[in-house]
Amino acid sequence: MQRKPALGLSIALGSLALAGPVDAQWTTSRSDNHRSSRSEVYASQAASPLYPVADVGARPAAGVVQGPSGLVYFSRTTDLQARDPETGAIAWTTPFSSTRTYGGPSLGPGETLCVPWETAGVPGPLGVVKLDSAGSELWTVTYTVNTGALPQMSHLAVDAAGNVYGRFTENPYTNYTAFCLDAAGNELWSTTVPVGIFSMKEHGPALGDDGAVYYTDNLVGLTRLDGATGAVDWTSNPGGALSSPVIADNGLVLVHTAFSAPSPGLYAYDPLTGAQAWQYPYPSQANGDLPPSLLQDGEALVIAPGAGGTHLHRVDVTDGSGLGSIPLPVSVADTEPVVGGDDTIYLWSGLTFVAFSPASGITKFQYAPAAGAGCVQAETVTPLADGSIFLTWRRKQTCNVSSGLNQFGTLAAPEGQPPVCTANIGPSAIIAEPDSALWPGTSVLLDGTGSSDPDNGIAFWEWRALIGTTPGPVLSSEPTYTLLTADPSSGPLQQQYLLRVVDPCDVLSADTLSVTILPVGTVVAPAPGEIWPIGSTPTIEWLAGNAPTGRVIQLSRDGGPWEDLALGTPNDGAYDWTVTGPATSNAVLRIFPAGAVIFAQYSEPFTITDGATGIGDVAAIGTTRLLGASPNPSRFTDPVRVRFELARSAHASVRIYDLRGARVRTLLDGVRPAGSNVVVWDRNDDAGRPVAAGVYFYRFESGEVRSTEKVSLVR
């Protein structure tokens, strides 16, 4: 090992006006998983960037930490930068040797920074460099290794005295050497741990309150070293690939197993003896070795398999009992779950940065910083002292190449403080019911504005489609969601939608809605059981869609052969047919594109009546009823046909009302004959003016019969 004094090279760029020292506890190690940075700060609740996305340059940012001054520091492989997170402005840049590559910094006393390095491009020496708060180099330590091997240096940890802990290996599939340097760069001890696969450089040390140092590898497992001498106190191995160790508030050492573990789970070990304290088992192997996180009250949070997919598990660190799990609200977690000051969970998932609750799973916000083609490669997530979030990522125009543009940004801290939740009353999620049967190719508003919360108001909304019983991706984080219906083609398609709302105290309420999307060609008239007298001329109606192909209309009586009623009639959704005999109580229509009977849509059975035979005799049936309106919803300028039946000739009225109950149009107020009747609304009011799109009511009255239904007009 060689120790070299500083050259004192630093480049200052501009001047900064910072708010001064920030009252917070500071993370001393990237691998400690934010254990020492938990606070009561109200974490960022919305994707509100403080400044436009900024470029780091060709080299990716690594190991972001924030100092008490408020500056954030990160390595860019060949230099170290300090930036103001409120503006993104550079405070200073310290160039490093071009023959080396540098890892992320770890923060020490006096806002000093310790950075691991390796020889660039080829096997060679590796070591540690220490900088002061202005970016000036204080010292460099070099370790000489076998240049024929594949040397690697881990991330570092720094204790309150400024001692630096790390490890390196000459070959990631042999021994590793753990070391401790004092604040001046003098080696206090080094220890070789045999036969440890050390292929994850980010698996740095965790420091115990008693001075012990903990490492994991893929063969020996979890190792505890005496922090004063470097002696191995104990090793314990649950098997499989292990995450970085995390120290719980009660002192237990937690590790998560992944890949080929004989008994997969989250394990806790006694810090003094290495004995297993408990195991929280997983139902199957975990696919990743992301370390557990710790919530504000000390509970462990881990991503692992669960019922029906990947779950976020909450575990009591005292005994390993499960406190519940929720499906991971994203398809994949590309970074470990980072815990904000109020337990908001942050992680990267694919192209998107996501914030969600570990209790309800509600998505608080999503942030997609790079729109358009290409990919985002997740890099870092750093909660800052004021509750804001500093992010770095690599923007790649071509997904399968390593090069890209490295960028960063800061999401603003929330305004105000968390609410008082001691006597909180939870919210109520309510979805307003649209028409249960929807046209294809229309925009339908799913409306959750009727949801309420009696005290603190609703904080977050979340719309998702249900795939079976599994929620799909987030569709909207607003009170409403506009559903664009597609043609289900083969038949009516039923879809379910889930609205979840939470109040600021994270109390959840949910409501579901089932809608049916009718395929193009669906027969809407005659209605089921409708009576059409022979010699009358009712209108056959269907959902036309946009296809120009002419339609064939056929009729079957009592299950008999199909009769042609129209061959190649225009696909305009309506055809006037003069009803012919013989009479039947089981008539069915089918409509299909010319030459494509496989796409036929069928009506429900209806009645063709003939007074001479008595089949379907209206007077005998004695039915007066409202049959419905079509099309519903009505698109663009399509007229709305309101159909009803009268048991006998009688006075009838049909009127249109708006949502306030004001009368908009009188369509009928007079005597109509027995049987099936239709009145048409041209979407104008009584003064002849077009009405606005929206929901209206149509009311039918005849004798003692009164019926009111809804109809939607869309643009």
Tell me, yes or no, whether 212 lies in a domain: yes
Residues 71 and 176 both lie in one domain: yes
Do 696 and 656 touch, CB atoms closer than 8 A? yes
Q: Alpha-carbon distance 25 to 32, whole Å?
A: 13
Tokens 């604040």 belong to 183
Tell me the pLDDT band of 436, cut-offs 50, 70 and 90.
low
pLDDT at 287: 72
Range with the poorest average pLDDT among 75-89, 250-264, 374-388 = 374-388
Range of the domain at 491: 437-517
Tell me the pLDDT band of 247, cut-offs 50, 70 and 90.
very high
pLDDT at 120: 82
Residues 234 and 98 both lie in one domain: yes
Residues 118 and 64 both lie in one domain: yes
Q: What is the pLDDT of residues 127-185, one digit of tens each?
A: 999 999 999 999 999 998 876 667 888 889 999 999 999 998 877 667 788 999 999 99
Q: Specify the amino acid at residue 148.
A: G
Residues 446 and 353 both lie in one domain: no
Residues 458 and 342 both lie in one domain: no
Residues 379 and 339 both lie in one domain: yes
pLDDT at 39: 39
Residues 139 and 282 both lie in one domain: yes
Which CATH number does the domain housing residue 242 bear?
Answer: 2.130.10.10
Residues 453 and 400 both lie in one domain: no
Confidence check: pLDDT of 14 > 70: no
Do 541 and 630 touch, CB atoms closer than 8 A? yes
For residue 465, CA distances in Å to 176, 326, 365, 655 come to 50, 17, 18, 36
pLDDT at 48: 86
**Higher pLDDT, residue 402 or 311:** 311
Confidence check: pLDDT of 32 > 50: no
pLDDT at 122: 78
Tell me, yes or no, whether 248 lies in a domain: yes
Confidence check: pLDDT of 439 > 70: no
Confidence check: pLDDT of 16 > 50: no
Q: Alpha-carbon distance 82 to 316, whole Å?
A: 38
Average pLDDT (509-517) is 87
**Higher pLDDT, residue 606 or 10:** 606
Q: What is the mean pLDDT of the chain?
A: 82
Nearest-5° angle of CA 130, CA 135, CA 139? Answer: 25
Q: Map 531-592 to HEC letters.
A: EEECCCCCEEEECCCCCCCCEEEEEEECCCCEEEEEEEECCCCEEECCCCCCCEEEEEEEEE
Dihedral angle of Cα 207, 211, 213, 214, to the nearest 10 degrees: -70
Tell me, yes or no, whether 544 lies in a domain: no
Q: What is the pLDDT of residues 664-699, one digit of tens each?
A: 999 999 988 888 888 999 899 999 998 888 888 898
Q: Alpha-carbon distance 291 to 214, whole Å?
A: 14
Q: What is the pLDDT of residues 478-502, one digit of tens each?
A: 999 988 877 776 667 788 899 999 8
Q: What is the pLDDT of residues 91-101, one digit of tens each?
A: 999 998 888 88
Range with the poorest average pLDDT among 69-73, 155-159, 201-205, 668-672 = 201-205
Take residue 26 and report the two structure tokens written for it.
């500071």
Highest-pLDDT range among 7-21, 340-354, 484-498, 607-621? 340-354
Tell me, yes or no, whether 531 lies in a domain: no
Spatial CA neighbour of 160 closest among 285, 28, 250, 54: 28
Average pLDDT (235-240) is 88
Tell me, yes or no, whether 118 lies in a domain: yes
Confidence check: pLDDT of 293 > 50: yes
Dihedral angle of Cα 93, 98, 101, 104, to the nearest 10 degrees: -10
pLDDT at 250: 92
pLDDT at 10: 31
pLDDT at 498: 92
Residues 186 and 225 both lie in one domain: yes
Tell me, yes or no, whether 533 lies in a domain: no
Q: What are phi and psi of 110, to 5 degrees?
A: 70, 20
pLDDT at 184: 97
Burial environment of residue 37 by CB neighbours within 10 A (0 to 12, 13 to 18, 19 or more): buried
pLDDT at 418: 65
**Higher pLDDT, residue 84 or 459:** 84
Residues 501 and 376 both lie in one domain: no
Which CATH number does the domain housing residue 487 bear?
Answer: 2.60.40.10
Domain boundary among 517, 537, 572: 517
Tokens 């997969």 belong to 264
Tell me, yes or no, whether 660 lies in a domain: yes
Confidence check: pLDDT of 470 > 90: no
Q: What is the pLDDT of residues 610-636, one digit of tens each?
A: 854 444 444 344 588 888 888 877 776
Residues 399 and 443 both lie in one domain: no
Percent of the chain with pLDDT strictly greater than 70: 85
Domain boundary among 484, 517, 550: 517
Range with the poorest average pLDDT among 30-34, 563-567, 569-573, 698-702 = 30-34
Domain boundary among 488, 517, 546: 517
Residues 393 and 448 both lie in one domain: no
pLDDT at 231: 95
Average pLDDT (515-535) is 84
Sign of the torsion formed by the C-alpha atoms of 560, 563, 565 and 569:
positive
Confidence check: pLDDT of 461 > 60: yes
Tell me, yes or no, whether 189 lies in a domain: yes
pLDDT at 181: 97
Take residue 78 and report the two structure tokens written for it.
């060949």
Q: Alpha-carbon distance 506 to 487, whole Å?
A: 38
pLDDT at 195: 60
Q: Specify the amino acid at residue 416.
A: G
Highest-pLDDT range among 150-154, 281-285, 394-398, 619-623? 281-285
Highest-pLDDT range among 268-272, 337-341, 582-586? 268-272
Range with the poorest average pLDDT among 50-64, 527-541, 662-676 = 50-64
Confidence check: pLDDT of 194 > 80: no
Which CATH number does the domain housing residue 698 bear?
Answer: 2.60.40.2550
Number of domains in the chain: 3
